[in-house]
Amino acid sequence: MCGIVGYTGPQSAVVPLIEGLRRLEYRGYDSAGIALGTPGTLFIEKRAGKLVNLEESFDESLPVVHSGIGHTRWATHGGPTDRNAHPHVDNEGKLAVIHNGIIENYSALKAELQSRGHTFKSETDTESVAHLLSDLRKEHKGDLTAAMRAAVKLLRGSFTLLAIHADAPDVIVGVRRNSPLVVGLGKGENFMASDVAAFIEYTKRAVELGQDEVVTITPQGILITDLEGKAVAPKEYEISWSAEAAQKGGFTHFMLKEIFEQPKAVADTLIGRLSDNNQIVLDEIRMSSAEIKDLKKILVIACGTAYHAGMIAKYAIEKWAKIPVEVEIASEFRYRDPIINKSTLVIAISQSGETMDTLMAIRHAKSAGARVLAICNTNSSTIPRESDAVLYTHAGPEIAVASTKAFLTQVIAVYLIGLHLAQVRGVMKDSQVAQLYYEMLELPGKIEQILETVEPLRTLTRSFAQSESVLFLGRNIGYPVALEGALKLKELAYMHAEGFAGGELKHGPIALIDKGTPVIAILPSSHEHALDEKMLSNIQEVKARGARVIVIAQESDEVVGAEHIIRIPRASAIFQPILATVPLQVFAYEMAICRGNDVDQPRNLAKSVTVE
């Protein structure tokens, strides 16, 4: 959610701070602010609204100093106002704090601090930390790092905190608990941020932080300690993507760029996954053949778009590996006493690797003895670190809030898992697995075909811009695609959109159909169980009640009753979601443009949801 940046080094700190915050705008925010390490009293500036509001507030009096912290806030406690924007300071104006997450016991802390004479100026939970740190720093003889360790022991919740003090302005102290924080190692300068995107222009050397680890950075180096003050060896890694990858590259929006990056993302996720003897190569799973054969159940947990990838996983894994699969919304998982044990494999899907609902769900699963396999796009994030194994997708940085290429690569990942499990359990022959893998290798080219012919779809979408509602229909593995199409439209166009299983229409949803209601139907590519015929009947049902029907169908498939047909290349039914999803992404994108919405940063949404 919130974007966090810290810098200390030879540069004028305003530059890396503002550039870093701009690169983190994709996370979603409603206010922004910075604290500069001026000796005596910190320079603080913060504004509600977009980052440009903060920049426009700067004048010629802006000090040139070489350290500071910056923040973009997504409001939780207190509305999006100048007063509630971060950083928050102590009553002396010498100590500033920025924060991502929630301090659950802030109310009790605030009452205690007020009884000691502290005056609060905001409605936030964060300000209590600024006052608490101020007192604790004095108790620890000016040692901000020791004060942070002491403060964290008193705090409840999930959070990342950064603090700076005017008496030692080149020192920045940070800590993380169930919330992202990464350190960037430069030459004579160092960084902290909630995402490596903030400092990728300056360094590709990064250090991951563990739970409740406190990090202190100066221009000369970094020190990591646990809460007892014991030094922790840094875990350094190299960032694999470039600063240019996080730029728009000539596209109007990040989302459009990421839609067009999907052929490469899918290809990169598939590359090198089949051995010379036709074995799916998934060494990352870290499970022996005996353990895989012993599996009695698979449980997929995820949120939002990743949940739809999990629904597709159910179809693929049950079809290929013949293992029962349940799919659970991660935020609900812990509250129904799920039946899991050591014979259960939990697959956790998260683009960011920091999704708090999913993180808490995997902790619950592990405590019950289940093995956890993460599917993630972000190296060294929390969910992969706390899982037993991780299969990284290779989508590259996804900046737009609405997920596109991350979703397709998640689906590819679950296909690979399904084939691997089927092969190890002896359910499918090696030749069958190889045939399906080689068909997947054709998918990037087929996505390219769709994208090369997308302009008529964009034109068509504009004719629906004044619609109040859009309904999506799917059957079998097309049902999750319908749900994903509806979610994208909600996220971007701010309009009513729902996805339904085609057979459920007559059980209530058909009452929503009125004259002119747009209905997008995904025609099944398989004639098995006559699903295509059943969907064509559903199309006739809604058309008879006045709906304007758009059908997504494979080349040469016969379609009756559609006002518009969007053709996609032929593929096996199991792979149709990869192709059918792309037009729905374009539809949602263009609808948002027509309605004048912010495509990359939709209202009220954040890229990474790091609170429950």
**End position of a domain, from candidates 411, 441, 471:** 441
Per-residue burial over 59-97, b = 16 or more CB atoms within 10 Å of its CB, e = otherwise = eeeeeebbbbbbbbbbbbbbeebbebbbbbbbeeebbbb
What CATH number is given to the structural domain containing 296?
3.40.50.10490
Are 462 and 324 in the same domain?
Answer: no
Written as six digits, the tokens of 326 are 């349940």
Written as six digits, the tokens of 398 are 């996804």
**End position of a domain, from candidates 213, 245, 277:** 245
Q: What is the pLDDT of residues 489-502, one digit of tens each?
A: 999 999 999 999 98
Please tell me the distance from the alpha carbon of residue 304 to that of residue 314, in angstroms, as a whole number: 16
For residue 330, being part of any structural domain is answered with yes
For residue 183, being part of any structural domain is answered with yes
Instruction: Give me Rg for the CA atoms of the chain.
Output: 25
Percent helix / strand / coil, the chain, rounded to 5: 40, 25, 40
Please tell me the distance from the alpha carbon of residue 518 to that of residue 470, in angstroms, as a whole number: 5
Are 317 and 329 in the same domain?
Answer: yes
Range of the domain at 272: 248-441
Q: What are residue 530's phi and psi, to 5 degrees?
A: 55, 35
- To the query of whether residue 153 is one of the catalytic residues in this protein, the response is no
Q: What is the pLDDT of residues 583-599, one digit of tens each?
A: 999 999 999 999 999 99
For residue 100, being part of any structural domain is answered with yes
Say which of 2, 376, 488, 490 is annotated catalytic.
2
Domain count, the chain: 3
- To the query of whether residue 2 is one of the catalytic residues in this protein, the response is yes
Are 139 and 282 in the same domain?
Answer: no
**End position of a domain, from candidates 211, 245, 279:** 245
For residue 448, being part of any structural domain is answered with no
For residue 433, being part of any structural domain is answered with yes
Are 231 and 262 in the same domain?
Answer: no
Are 221 and 280 in the same domain?
Answer: no
Are 332 and 256 in the same domain?
Answer: yes
For residue 511, being part of any structural domain is answered with yes
- 213: enclosing H helix or E strand: strand 213-218
For residue 486, being part of any structural domain is answered with yes
For residue 447, being part of any structural domain is answered with no
Please tell me the distance from the alpha carbon of residue 10 to that of residue 262, in angstroms, as a whole number: 39
- What's the count of helices (H) and strands (E) in the chain, helices before strands? 19, 24
Are 367 and 460 in the same domain?
Answer: no
Burial of 459 (0-12, 13-18, 19+ CB in 10 A): exposed
Are 15 and 44 in the same domain?
Answer: yes
Please tell me the distance from the alpha carbon of residue 164 to that of residue 42, in angstroms, as a whole number: 9
- Pairing mode of beta strands 157-165, 205-208: unpaired
Report how far Cα 103 is from the mean position of its chain's Cα atoms.
22
Instruction: Quote the DSSP letter at residue 274.
Output: B
Are 457 and 380 in the same domain?
Answer: no
Among the listed residues 95, 88, 258, 195, the one whose alpha carbon sits nearest the alpha carbon of residue 606: 195
| The predicted structure's pLDDT at residue 246 | 65
Are 168 and 28 in the same domain?
Answer: yes
Say which of 110, 405, 490, 607 is annotated catalytic.
607
49 three-state secondary structure: coil
| The predicted structure's pLDDT at residue 101 | 87
| The predicted structure's pLDDT at residue 609 | 63
| The predicted structure's pLDDT at residue 381 | 83
Mean pLDDT of each 10-residue bin along the chain, 612 residues long = 91 95 81 93 93 89 92 87 95 95 92 96 95 97 97 92 97 91 95 91 91 96 96 89 69 91 94 93 92 96 97 97 96 88 95 89 94 90 91 89 95 97 96 96 95 91 93 95 97 95 88 91 81 88 90 90 93 96 97 94 74 56
What CATH number is given to the structural domain containing 169?
3.60.20.10
Are 260 and 357 in the same domain?
Answer: yes
Are 396 and 533 in the same domain?
Answer: no
Among the listed residues 144, 218, 152, 143, the one whose alpha carbon sits nearest the alpha carbon of residue 179: 152
Q: What are residue 425's phi and psi, to 5 degrees?
A: -80, 0
